[in-house]
Amino acid sequence: MFELKNKEGSSYHFTLKAKNGQVILSSEVYNSKSAAENGISSVKKNASEDGRYERKTAKDGRFFFNLKAGNGQVIGSSQMYSSESGMENGINSVKENASGADTKEV
């Protein structure tokens, strides 16, 4: 499920949640609702392609990933994971959940 949230005024942000309710991907802040909706569409389009995931290690040794669009722009980022396998499970969850996910405005 994608949750589309109005932040402040005309700013929007979305998250992708797994079936258990855990946030598996968070977006940047967009200047309009339509831009955030375009971001959701881009996640759905790119989520199945493994090459779109940028796997990273933070300075503190934890792992995270970014999902990028075809133009290289980051369209979503994960939470921090304590293990590389946890990060890979997060990527697999995005791949499994994104394409068919509904969007709910909250």
Q: For residue range 7-22, what is the model confidence (pLDDT) as tens digits? A: 878 899 999 998 889 9
Model confidence, pTM: 0.92
Spatial distance between the Cα atoms of 99 and 49, rounded to a whole number of angstroms: 11
Locate 91 and state its tokens: 């990527």
Average pLDDT over residues 70-91: 96
Locate 83 and state its tokens: 């293990």
β-pair partners for 3? 15, 104
Q: Where are the alpha helices (DSSP H) in 15-83?
A: 33-46
Query: Which pLDDT score is estimated for 19?
Result: 85
pLDDT band at 26 (very low <50, low <70, confident <90, very high): very high
> Quick check: 83 pLDDT over 90?
yes
